[in-house]
Structure 1
Amino acid sequence: MSAIPLTTQGAERLQVELHRLKTVERPDVINAIAEARAQGDLSENAEYDAARERQAFVEGRIRELEGTLSNAQVIDPSSLDSDGRIVFGATVQIEDLESGDQVTYQIVGDVEADIRSQRISVSSPVARALIGKHEGDVVEVRAPGGVREYEIISISYV
């Protein structure tokens, strides 16, 4: 398996989730299964079936997180020699030249991308267009909705 790029904050978030799953969720599911078993006949026990489904989800997520973290390449954007360029982990404020709307994104790995939190995947069309550019540059983004032009307003490496 190849290295999975993660920001330091993304790796921390995944480790916190893994810890919660192992210390809170897993014991809760085990207790729910034990309680459902105590009710008797398992063939028609909806609580038992639900608890087993939840257990499968929790165990699957634990395996997924352990696999991701074991193959993670944690990158601290503040320690990179970026020379003012946009690199993985950078936080970028851009302006849509057509509408004048401004938005701020952090460029992160695929695993930690979340558009609601303004974290976009390094493999997204916007991030691919921004990587390597400098403040003040204008970039063209070819997206499914057509070609958009953005001006880079600011870059930070938090």
Structure 2
Amino acid sequence: MASIHPYLNFKGNTEEAFNFYKSVFGGEFLTLQRFKDTDQGASLPPQDQDKIMHISLAIGQDSLLMANDVLESMGHTLTVGDNVSLSINADSEEEATRLFNGLSAGGTVTMPLQKTFWGAYFGMFTDPFGIKWMVNHDLEQPE
């Protein structure tokens, strides 16, 4: 069955925030990927190269706190107070599709469910009640 984790967005201070959260919760960063390490990184302004594309912090045995920096250079904006999404990690593509289609019905899809460059089947939407969701299924990586 799918699991749900909070996903936060920050205006360029994700790393500072997550070092603070790590000092409070303990745990380890499971992922820390910077924009410069992605396919699109070379096209970003130098001040955005070291910003966080994705970070995840293990909290306890079954919870993750995840986040990224929202970059204006990529045409994105952020309103504090509207910067939290619920991220569903599905066990299969079929489960991801079912949950995406069900929860997004009557809402607004912001990124259709699709295979991504980071090796996931992923999509984003806002449900009819104004809640932001992300649906993710990690695809098998070739060895």
Q: TM-score normalised by the shorter chain: which range applies?
A: under 0.3
Which structure shows the higher helix fraction? 1
Which structure shows the higher strand fraction? 2
- TM-score, normalised to structure 2, is 0.28
| Structure (1 or 2) with the larger CA radius of gyration | 1
